[in-house]
Amino acid sequence: MSIDVAGGRARALWQELAAAPDTAFGTPGVCVSPDSCLAPPSWVGVVTIGDTALITAPTDRAAAAVRTALDGLPTTRLTDPATVTGLLPVSDTLGPATPAYLTPEDLRPPVSTGTPTERLTPGHAALRALSEEAGEADAGESGLEEITSPVFVVRDGGERVLAVACYAHWPRGTAHLCVLTAPDARGRGLARQVASEATAHALAAGLLAQWRARPAASRRGATALGYRELGAQLSVRLV
């Protein structure tokens, strides 16, 4: 699978999540879709892949405002909060997040940390403990509540989990990576170790591996494994 094929699969994924079958990525494509999953309910969602974009709005009025305000902008500025809030009456934003994708031939296993990777099942008590330790914001960013795959972990030699990676099955044969590390165990390569295992598991199943992140450290970890950032995602709530 080439990165071009991965980009095509990514567009197909986000088009399905947009819940607007007749609307495709464009420059940009703007559609009314109150059931869109590109953003929270009643928000405007913007996703770019390469030099194309897809925008969903909850109402005709919101869609018209977005078309008027954002028409003619370069794709890279459509997910820039400063640009968008300067052109539209916005009360809140989420993002931007960066979706990255990986082809099987690009996976770069990390240097071993010397600590073995183990497997747990979703819902294991040790995962709940890690989420509490990491805090609500980081745990929410990780998406561990949505996982459907085996869970790859590194422990401290006892029961405590230091790092976890797994994925949720998304539409279009997509594996959405979920990664979380205990605050005092970061910077040791543990997240990359478990993420490499989870990614390899997804690729072996023929899934499209997706890593969507906002924090810079998470983005660096994805890049180190071979993921390529192909776009961006921004959600805005209009006044």
- Identify whether the C-beta of residue 26 lies closer than 8 Å to the C-beta of residue 73: no
pLDDT of 158 reads 85
Q: Which domains does the chain have, with CATH numbers?
A: 3-99+232-238 (no CATH), 102-229 (3.40.630.30)
Segment 115-132 shows an average pLDDT of 91
Mean pLDDT throughout 29-44? 94
Q: What is the pLDDT of residue 29?
A: 75
Other CB atoms within 10 Å distance of the CB of residue 123: 11
**pLDDT score recorded for residue 1:** 65
pLDDT, tens digit, for every residue of 191-209? 999 999 999 999 999 999 9
Q: Mean pLDDT over residues 60-74, rounded?
A: 94
φ, ψ of residue 67 to 5 degrees: the values are -60, -45
For residue 234, the model assigns a pLDDT of 98
What is the arithmetic mean of pLDDT over 47-58?
95
Please indicate whether residue 30 or residue 86 has the higher confidence score (pLDDT). Answer: 86
Nearest Cα neighbor of 16 from 178, 233, 174 is 174
Say if residue 61's pLDDT is above 70: yes
End-to-end distance of the chain based on CA atoms, in angstroms?
Answer: 43
* Residue 28 pLDDT: 74
Structure confidence at residue 12 as a pLDDT band (50, 70, 90): very high
